């Protein structure tokens, strides 16, 4: 049997499923839009980091990290908020806000969000801290698909297929 116990966190809004809630490298992460918090001891104690965002995404590339999505930007940290690397999106999608991310076997990133299509990034979102540039505003490529749809979730299957969806539709992406 399972027994649930409520965890006490430094977060003010309990809508974790909307802004982010996941585990990477043995740490539990939760976010409320104003900050994110992480626990290294199964939720007994939490460390809070102030950083405004709309969605928190797990970056399962290299040593791992987190991404905080807001309009026109994905900020990535691999050291729990000490250093950040910012990734802008193509200018024609002025209100694109990242919602979900998946990676393929070649470490390419595929991202969904509101206000734009599924986009692909070829490169490393996670790099050694001494190589972190302040801002990178290139690298995301549109995939053929609906450009006006707001796609909120994306998965990559073990066979390499990409699926993206929202509340009204589900799309399968096939490599051309």
Per-residue confidence (pLDDT) for residue 13, from 0 to 100:
63
Cβ-proximal residues to 144 (8 Å cutoff; 6+ apart), any chain: 173, 176
Q: Is the pLDDT assigned to residue 41 strictly greater than 70?
A: yes
Q: Which of 75, 39, 38, 40 is nearest to 55 (CA)?
A: 75
Please tell me the predicted confidence (pLDDT) of residue 38: 92
Integer CA distances (angstroms), 171 to 1, 90, 117, 165, in order: 37, 22, 11, 6
pLDDT of 129-167, one tens digit each? 666 555 555 566 677 676 656 777 777 777 777 878 776
d(CA 145, CA 10): 40
Is the pLDDT at 12 greater than 70, yes or no? yes
Tens of pLDDT, residues 43-101? 889 999 888 788 899 998 888 899 999 988 899 999 998 888 888 888 788 788 999 99
Residue for token digits 């990034």? 121
pLDDT band at 32 (very low <50, low <70, confident <90, very high): confident
Average pLDDT over residues 101-112: 89
Confidence at residue 146, expressed as pLDDT on a 0 to 100 scale:
65
């Amino acid at each position: 049997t399972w027994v649930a116990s409520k965890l006490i966190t430094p977060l003010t809004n309990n809508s974790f499923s909307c802004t982010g809630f996941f585990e990477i490298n043995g740490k539990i992460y939760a976010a409320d839009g104003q900050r994110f918090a992480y626990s290294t001891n199964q939720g007994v104690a939490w460390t809070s980091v102030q950083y405004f965002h709309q969605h928190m995404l797990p970056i399962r590339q290299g040593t791992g990290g987190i991404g905080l999505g807001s309009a026109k930007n994905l900020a990535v940290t691999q050291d729990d908020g000490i250093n950040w690397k910012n990734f802008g999106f193509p200018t024609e999608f002025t209100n694109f806000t990242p919602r979900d991310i998946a990676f393929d076997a070649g470490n390419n990133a595929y991202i969904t969000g509101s206000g734009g299509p599924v986009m692909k990034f070829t490169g490393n979102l996670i790099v050694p801290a001494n190589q972190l540039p302040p801002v990178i505003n290139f690298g995301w490529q549109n995939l053929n698909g609906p450009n006006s749809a707001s796609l909120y979730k994306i998965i990559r299957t073990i066979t390499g297929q990409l699926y993206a969806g929202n509340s009204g539709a589900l799309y399968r992406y096939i490599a051309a």
